[in-house]
Structure 1
Amino acid sequence: MNGIARVQQTIEYIEDHLTSELELAELAAVACYSAYHFHRLFQMLTGMTVMNYIRNRRLDRAACELIRTKDNILDIALEYGFGSHETFTRAFKRVFQTTPGAYRKQGKHVPIYPRVNLQELQAHSRGGIEMTPTILNKPEIKVLGYLVRTSLNDNQSQQDIQAFWQRYLQEGLGQTIPSKLHPDTELGIIVDNDCETGDFSYLIGYEVAEEPQLAEGSELTYRTVPAATYAVFTTPAVPAEQFSKSIQETWGAIFRDWFPTSGYEHAATPELELYDSRSSNPEAKQMDICIPIQKS
């Protein structure tokens, strides 16, 4: 069973247990993956974290129950894991733009978050990106740079990271980073992942030889990335205006097309983006995405 089928199996498991308490480790075990790999694979395949998917599916199922039955609203809320009428109403209104009571009076359920079918998503994926990585062992690296906190949910990270890069470049923040080991190679690093919420931090910076003494109040942030084995993917050479899109499409293809049949899992250490001289060619920009891996 490949990775797509294993995640789909977990989606079916979720459907059968929406009224039960569900935890990330339990769902990862259904897919026979580590919790971290399952978290990243699910998010990249569906566009949301698994816990956010569960919340959305519960709200959708609860909305259906409001129309299909005459059950008390509080009973429906409690059945689908909402601790109070107020909590349920707040979450319901955020998604359906109306209260549960008003929704019931409409007399018609319009699904907003249907069950995901990964086979259908795969059939409509465009592909077209070469997925033959180089496998490399990299030693521990020390990185100094600037950090932003963002989320995998609702594509927020794409917007936040793009805006952060724009600020970084416009304000010349890279020039304020001292003692660069490789001045021509900037790094984008994904750290501090929260598998439950989908929140993580993105660090833009350079490799340094040792941890610096930072002045109080400095925006600079230091991180150590442990030694790891990486699958290194190079993005297609594209004009500058297509570079950001090319990076996002390559990220998607790694998890959608390569990981499910690769025999590898994510090693749960930071992911690296590497921008060197190839990223400076306005006619044919490229960069490397380095994913830490281990055998499944």
Structure 2
Amino acid sequence: MHIENEIQIDYKVRINRVFEYIDANLDGALTLKILADIAFFSPFHFHRVFKSITGETLNDYVIRRRIEKSASDLMHKHVSLSTIYRSYGFPDNSSFTRAFKKFYGVSPTAFKKENPNKFSKIRQIESKNGQIYPDFEKYICIIDNLKKWIQMNAKIEVKEIEKLNLAYVPSIGTRNLEATYQKLVRWAGPKGLLDDNTKMVTIYHDSLLVTEADKARLDACIVLTKSVAVDGEFGLTSIEQGKFIVGSFEIGIDEFEKSWTGLFVWMHEHGYKKADRHPFELYHNNFNEHPEKRAKVDFYIPID
């Protein structure tokens, strides 16, 4: 059993290298042979391992990443469609439009046009996830209610933060995040990394506005105050110094999505643009130890 666990960990480490390579090369050739070599597998074995870990074929995963990243750009960037489709490896506008429409049910142009505040989750279409979005009047009402809720429940600042050094474990799917944190805590305790001032961080590689929750990639992290050796599925990463919108909340677990949504609405309303860096959450307590099960958490959106 111990040997089987080590093999599973080694496979996850190799696949995580592939995830990172794909994200860095969405405009290039992402063939089975290239990615299998990165994972140090034969193409046949790699294909099976990748699907067993992700639940998707390699081709489906790559197409989804390209489409979801392009959707995020349509929401957050003022760039041309040609710039977007070339950035994500599509040879022309027609192939990009076909793939996008197959995934979201509307063309890229309609996606952008029907989204006046560049916020994709509130639109009058049925998404691939099966969610039905309201009409324009309801859209305006929802936005207004979000603004009021944010004013009442958040302290929002724009500030420069210092570099954060982190140890992390990758997770696929939000439902697996709690178990991933438990694994991180079990590893960190014996290494003397846990005390009353220890902070945990979740880094989002995917936007839950455009990626299904069970397919989203996240990193469960612990902020380091000293150097530590890592191995296996545990790794080292960092959040570089930069400018962020920071929303500070004390919320219930069912209010995280509303908080993120409201913060992005605030960002657009105030004329900021999301930078090409990952949003993250920083936790100030363990919500399970709060008498009302509330989380004290800061949400960080990177901006230019």
Normalised TM-score (structure 2)? 0.49
Q: Which has the larger radius of gyration?
A: 1
